[in-house]
Structure 1
C-alpha cells in the first residue's frame, strides 16, 4: 500500500485554468486562481515537493492540439530534470480528449495525471481541492509509475484510453464505461487495482504537419442523408463516423462513405457511449461488415472523440491508410 505522503517525491504541477481555477467574475472578466492559490487551498500538499508552473489560463474548449503537445514537452523537461510525476489542472470539457492525446505520446515511466473540478471555488462544496490532492498523491505513488496518462477525479483513477465525461454537472461525472476505474484513492492511499497494458508512444509531429492535418467528425442520426460529406476531402484529410450501435449507418449513406474511404481514411466508431464497433455480425447495407468492405476502418472500443484524436495525430505523422488501420487495430 502506498503511503499518502511521500516527501521525497518531486511533482511538477502545471495549471491550464478551467473550473478548478475560477474564482468569480469581475468587471475585467473571470478571476482565475494561480497554481500557488490552488496549492494553498490544500494544506496537506505542504508535505510534498511541488514545482508549480502557471502555463496558460485557457478555457478547455479553447485548447488546441499544439498547446497540449507543447505542454507535453514542458512536462518532459520537468521529468528529465528530476520530477517523479506530473499533474495538470484543466477544464473538464475536453479533459478526456487531452488526456488521450497526451497518453499517445507520453514516453516516460513517470505518471502524467490530469484533474479538474465540476464545482468552482465560489460554490458550496467545491471539489477542486480534493481532486488536486488525489491527483498529486497518485502522481507521487510508485505504483502509478508505468501507467502512462491518468485522469483522477472523485478519488477515482482512470486510464486515459477509457475515461469519458458522462454528466454535465455531477462531481462523479468521469467514468470509464468499458472497464471502470483502474484504481482509487482511499483514506489518502493510492490503490491500483488493474494495470492496463501500454502501447509504444507515438512521436510528436511537427506543428506545421499538425496544423495541416484536419479531421472532421460526423455523428449519424435518424434519417440522415448528410449531403455535405461529399465535400469533406476538400478541407479535411480524415473523417470519423460515429455510427449507430455497433457501427451502423442508414443504407443511403453507405455508398457515399465508401467513396470517401477511397480518397481519405474514414474511421467507423460508435456513438453509443460504450461498447465496441463489431466486425462481422451484421451484413445488411450500412452494417459494420458492409462498411468495412467499402474501406472504412474499424475504431474498435475507441469512442468517436478519441478516434478523432488518434486519426489526426497519425495523419500529422504522415501515416497512410494501411498504417492508420494498423494503429486503430492496436489502440482500438
Structure 2
C-alpha cells in the first residue's frame, strides 16, 4: 500500500528552541518508531510550512488537488500533518470536496517534538495506519490523534493544550487504533461531494462573517456587514436564540444575504419550533435565517463559503444545510 504524506507545518514540525526553520516531512517521519516496519510505502512531500492559523481555503484546496493526483497515480491513502488550531475546519473543507474512496487523514500534535511526552510520532503512526486501512475507505476526511479516529463533520478541538483535545461531542469517535490495528466502531454516512475546482476569484469574494451572540448583544457591530460580506453565520445561545433586540437586525440582513443560525454551545443541534419568543429559533426562522442543524459555527462558515463560491443560490444553500446539518 502506498500512502502519500503531505507536510504543512504546525506544532508537529517545530524544532528545538534555538534551531531555525521547521522540520521537514522526512524528518517528522524519521522520528516515528515502528513506521518503517509497516507494510506501507510512504511518499513524503513538503507543500508549505506555516502555522495552521495562516492557512487559507485556497491552500487547502491546493492540497486536495495534490492528494487527488497522488491517488490517481496509485496511492491508497493520504495523510496531512498540520497545526491543530484550524484542523477541525480544514478537515471539514476537505471532506466536503473529497470524492475518492481512499482515506484522507489529517493529524498533528499538541506537544512540540522537543517536549517531554511529544505526541507527534504516535499521531503520525496512527494516521498512516488509518490511511492504509481497508476499514477506513469510503469515509472521506478523518482526523486521527491520540489513537482516536474522528469524522471531519463532527470533530472539535475542545481544549487549548491537552493531547486529548480532539473529540466529537455529538457522536463520539468513529473508531480507535489499538495495538496497531484500526478498529472502526461507528459508521458515518457520507454526503455527495462538492466540486473541488473552485474559482479562486469567486472564493475570495465569498466572504462569510461569524457573529458569536453574547449577553446584552444588540448587534451594532454588524452595521455595514452587507457591504463587505456575502454571508453570515450566527452562533446563538443554547438551541439557537438571540436577544430580542438583535432579531430584527438579523432578519434585515437575511433579506440581503444568507444568514445561518447555529449554536455556540459546542454540541447539539439548534431547534426549529420549540420556542416562540422574540429572538427564539422559531422567530429567527420566520425572519429568514437558515437552520444550521448540528453543524457548529466554524463548520457552518466553511460550508456557506464553499456554497457561495460555487454559485449556489438561496434554495441550494437551504438544501445543503438541510442535508449537512
Q: TM-score range by the shorter chain?
A: over 0.9
Cα distance in 1 for partners of 2:167, 2:20 equals: 29
Q: Does 1:165 align with 2:157?
A: yes
Cα distance in 2 for partners of 1:170, 1:25 equals: 21
TM-score, length of structure 2 as denominator length? 0.98
Q: Does 1:322 align with 2:315?
A: yes
Q: Does 1:69 align with 2:91?
A: no
Greater shift in the superposed pair: 162-171 or 226-235: 226-235
Cα distance in 2 for partners of 1:75, 1:111 equals: 10
Paired residue secondary structure (2:285)? helix
Cα distance in 2 for partners of 1:24, 1:209 equals: 41
Paired residue secondary structure (2:270)? coil
- 1:107-128 CA-to-partner distances (Å, cap 9, x unmatched) read 0000000000000011001000
CA contact (8 A) 1:25 1:31 kept: no
Q: 1:206 aligns with which of 188, 192, 199?
A: 199
30 and 247 in structure 1: CA distance in 2 versus 1, 3 angstrom threshold: farther
1:81 aligns with 73
TM-score, length of structure 1 as denominator length? 0.96
CA contact (8 A) 1:230 1:260 kept: no
CA contact (8 A) 2:12 2:111 kept: yes
Cα distance in 2 for partners of 1:71, 1:78 equals: 11
1:133 aligns with 125
Report the CA distance between 1:228 and its aligned residue.
Answer: 2.6
Cα distance in 1 for partners of 2:84, 2:173 equals: 17
1:38 aligns with 28
2:276 aligns with 283
Cα distance in 2 for partners of 1:262, 1:230 equals: 14
- 1:172-230 CA-to-partner distances (Å, cap 9, x unmatched) read 00000000000000011000011110000001211111011000000000000121313
Q: 1:176 aligns with which of 168, 177, 183?
A: 168
Paired residue secondary structure (1:31)? coil
1:269 aligns with 262
Paired residue secondary structure (2:294)? coil
Greater shift in the superposed pair: 264-273 or 200-209: 200-209
Alignment of 1:294-313 (within 5 A): 294-313=287-306
CA contact (8 A) 1:106 1:149 kept: yes
2:97 aligns with 105
CA contact (8 A) 1:104 1:201 kept: yes
Q: Which runs of 5+ in 1 are unaligned?
A: 1-8
Report the CA distance between 1:43 and its aligned residue.
Answer: 3.4
Paired residue secondary structure (1:126)? coil
Report the CA distance between 1:71 and its aligned residue.
Answer: 0.4
- 1:10-50 CA-to-partner distances (Å, cap 9, x unmatched) read 00000000000101343xx7531111111111131113200
Cα distance in 1 for partners of 2:33, 2:3 equals: 16
Paired residue secondary structure (1:184)? strand
**4+ residue runs over 2 A deviation:** none
Q: 1:58 aligns with which of 50, 54, 57?
A: 50
CA contact (8 A) 2:219 2:249 kept: no
Cα distance in 2 for partners of 1:228, 1:44 equals: 53
2:245 aligns with 252
Report the CA distance between 1:282 and its aligned residue.
Answer: 0.2
- 1:300-326 CA-to-partner distances (Å, cap 9, x unmatched) read 000000000000000001111111111
CA contact (8 A) 2:77 2:132 kept: yes
Query: C-alpha root-mean-square deviation of aligned residues, in Å?
Result: 0.8
Paired residue secondary structure (1:43)? coil
